[in-house]
Amino acid sequence: MKTITFEGEAFVGLPIPALPLNALGRKYTTLRQSKYIIDVYAYPLDAQPVWVAYRWDGSAWPKVPMFSRAEENRFPKTIAKEASEFLAKLEGQKNES
Protein backbone atom coordinates (compact mmCIF):
# COMPACT_ATOMS: atom_id res chain seq x y z
CA MET A 1 0.00 0.00 0.00
CA LYS A 2 1.44 3.35 -0.98
CA THR A 3 1.77 6.13 1.57
CA ILE A 4 0.64 9.69 0.87
CA THR A 5 2.43 12.40 2.84
CA PHE A 6 0.47 15.38 4.13
CA GLU A 7 2.16 18.55 5.38
CA GLY A 8 0.60 21.57 7.04
CA GLU A 9 -2.88 22.08 8.44
CA ALA A 10 -5.89 21.40 6.19
CA PHE A 11 -8.00 24.53 5.68
CA VAL A 12 -11.02 23.99 7.94
CA GLY A 13 -14.33 25.04 6.45
CA LEU A 14 -13.14 25.11 2.84
CA PRO A 15 -13.92 22.48 0.22
CA ILE A 16 -10.71 20.60 -0.55
CA PRO A 17 -10.00 19.31 -4.09
CA ALA A 18 -9.65 15.57 -4.60
CA LEU A 19 -6.14 14.18 -4.63
CA PRO A 20 -4.79 13.50 -8.12
CA LEU A 21 -4.31 9.93 -9.29
CA ASN A 22 -0.92 8.56 -8.25
CA ALA A 23 -0.71 11.16 -5.44
CA LEU A 24 2.52 11.18 -3.45
CA GLY A 25 1.82 14.09 -1.15
CA ARG A 26 -0.14 17.24 -0.40
CA LYS A 27 1.06 20.41 1.30
CA TYR A 28 -1.19 23.14 2.71
CA THR A 29 0.45 26.57 2.94
CA THR A 30 -0.43 30.25 3.28
CA LEU A 31 1.50 33.08 1.62
CA ARG A 32 0.55 36.74 2.03
CA GLN A 33 -2.88 35.78 3.38
CA SER A 34 -3.59 33.57 0.33
CA LYS A 35 -4.19 29.87 0.82
CA TYR A 36 -2.44 27.36 -1.44
CA ILE A 37 -2.49 23.60 -1.88
CA ILE A 38 0.50 21.89 -3.49
CA ASP A 39 -0.03 18.37 -4.82
CA VAL A 40 2.85 16.10 -5.82
CA TYR A 41 1.99 13.10 -7.96
CA ALA A 42 3.60 10.59 -10.31
CA TYR A 43 3.10 11.74 -13.91
CA PRO A 44 1.05 9.03 -15.70
CA LEU A 45 3.33 8.61 -18.74
CA ASP A 46 6.69 8.13 -17.08
CA ALA A 47 5.97 8.08 -13.30
CA GLN A 48 8.27 11.08 -12.72
CA PRO A 49 7.13 13.17 -9.76
CA VAL A 50 5.57 16.51 -10.71
CA TRP A 51 3.64 19.13 -8.78
CA VAL A 52 0.69 21.43 -9.26
CA ALA A 53 -0.45 24.33 -7.09
CA TYR A 54 -3.97 25.55 -6.37
CA ARG A 55 -4.91 28.95 -4.92
CA TRP A 56 -8.15 29.62 -3.05
CA ASP A 57 -10.03 32.39 -4.91
CA GLY A 58 -12.89 32.74 -2.44
CA SER A 59 -15.12 30.11 -3.99
CA ALA A 60 -12.93 27.43 -5.61
CA TRP A 61 -9.38 26.07 -6.00
CA PRO A 62 -8.28 26.87 -9.58
CA LYS A 63 -4.84 25.68 -10.65
CA VAL A 64 -2.20 28.35 -10.58
CA PRO A 65 -1.37 28.68 -14.30
CA MET A 66 2.24 28.72 -15.50
CA PHE A 67 2.22 28.17 -19.24
CA SER A 68 3.04 31.57 -20.78
CA ARG A 69 5.96 33.79 -19.89
CA ALA A 70 3.60 36.45 -18.47
CA GLU A 71 1.90 33.86 -16.25
CA GLU A 72 5.26 32.49 -15.19
CA ASN A 73 6.37 35.99 -14.14
CA ARG A 74 3.24 36.35 -11.98
CA PHE A 75 3.57 32.86 -10.47
CA PRO A 76 4.39 33.13 -6.76
CA LYS A 77 8.06 32.19 -6.65
CA THR A 78 7.81 31.27 -2.97
CA ILE A 79 5.10 28.70 -3.75
CA ALA A 80 7.25 27.26 -6.56
CA LYS A 81 10.18 27.00 -4.14
CA GLU A 82 8.03 25.33 -1.46
CA ALA A 83 6.64 22.89 -4.04
CA SER A 84 10.13 22.02 -5.28
CA GLU A 85 11.41 21.45 -1.74
CA PHE A 86 8.35 19.32 -0.88
CA LEU A 87 8.88 17.22 -4.02
CA ALA A 88 12.57 16.74 -3.11
CA LYS A 89 11.55 15.70 0.42
CA LEU A 90 9.10 13.11 -0.94
CA GLU A 91 11.72 11.75 -3.35
CA GLY A 92 14.15 11.44 -0.41
CA GLN A 93 11.56 9.47 1.57
CA LYS A 94 10.94 7.23 -1.45
CA ASN A 95 14.69 6.52 -1.81
CA GLU A 96 15.00 5.63 1.88
CA SER A 97 12.35 2.90 1.69
pLDDT of residue 27: 94
Number of domains observed in the structure of the chain: 1
Q: 17-57, pLDDT tens digit by residue?
A: 999 888 999 999 998 888 999 999 988 888 888 888 899 99
Judging by DSSP bridges, how do beta strands 23-31 and 49-55 pair with one another?
Answer: unpaired
The alpha carbon torsion through 64, 65, 70, 76 (nearest 10 deg) reads: 20
- Per-residue pLDDT, 81: 81
pLDDT tier for residue 60 given thresholds of 50, 70 and 90: very high
In a domain? residue 81: yes
- Residue 24 belongs to some domain of the structure: yes
Range of the domain at 86: 16-60+67-96
The predicted-structure confidence for 72-94, as pLDDT tens digits, reads as follows 556 667 777 888 888 888 877 76
* Any domain includes 8: no
Whether residue 10 lies inside any domain: the answer is no
